[in-house]
Amino acid sequence: MKLRVTSLLAATGLVALGACAPTTGMDGMGTGTGMSRTQQGALAGAAVGAVLAGTRDSDRNNQGRDAARGAILGGIAGAVAGNMLDRQAQALQQSLSNPNIQVINRGSYLQVVMPEGILFATGSAAVSGAAQNDLYAVARNLNQYPNSRVEVVGHTDNTGSAALNMDLSQRRAQSVTGILAAAGVSPSRLVATGAGFNQPVASNDTAAGRAQNRRVEILIRPTN
C-alpha cells in the first residue's frame, strides 16, 4: 500500500504541475489540453516511470526515492518521444503542397488524411500525378524519421455494395503504399488495409459527408 501511495503521489504531482503549463501546440495540431505533445509525453512517461521504478524495487528500501528517479527518467523519455512527433508533424506539413491534406498529431502517432479528390478519379485506384508529388514528400519525411511503422488505410462512402467498396479501398491503399515504397520507404515498414465504408468520419446522408468519408489515411506509429 505504501508503494502504491508513493507512486501515485509522484505521478499525480507531475500531472498537476503539467496542467498549469501553457499551450505550445502547433496550429491545427493542438492538443486541446493546455499542453504540448512534448509536455504530455513527459507527464505520461513520468507517471509510468514512477510506478515501474517502485514495483521493480527488489529490496523494498527507498521506494520513494526509486519512484522519484523513475518519474524523472520516464519523463525525459516521454518528452523526447513527444517532441519528436511534434517536429516530424511540423516538417511534414511544411513539405506538402496541397493545403487540403491534414497532418494531425494524435499524441502517440501521426495521422495524415488525404481526401479522395486529391488522390483518385471517381472509382479509380490510380494515384494522380499531382498527388504523387505529395506522397514523395511523405516518403522523404518517413525516411528522415525511420523509426516508425506506417499503416495506409483506404476508406470509402457507402455508395455501392460493401464488397465493391472494400475492394476499392484496399486497392487504393495498396496504390499509395506502392508509391511510398517506390520512393524509398522500406516495404517492411508498410501495411496496406482497406476499411471500405466501415469507418466513416461524417454522415453518408449528404454529399459533403460522403466526400469526407472517401479518403486515405497514413498512420505513422513510432516504434521506439
**Is residue 113 in some structural domain?**
yes
Residues 6+ apart with CB under 8 A from 217: 111, 112, 113, 114, 152, 153, 155
Tally of domains within the chain: 2
pLDDT, residue 157, reads 98
CA atoms within 13 A on the CB side of 51: 9
Residue ending a domain, among 21, 56, 84, is: 84
pLDDT, residue 224, reads 80
- Provide block-wise average pLDDT over 10 residues at a time, the chain (224 residues): 49 47 41 51 53 54 60 52 89 97 97 97 96 98 98 98 98 98 98 98 98 98 92
**Is residue 38 in some structural domain?**
yes
pLDDT, residue 5, reads 47
Containing structural domain, residue 36: 2-84
pLDDT, residue 87, reads 97
**Is residue 115 in some structural domain?**
yes
Residues 211 and 162 in one domain: yes
pLDDT, residue 34, reads 52
Domain of residue 116, CATH code: 3.30.1330.60
pTM: 0.70
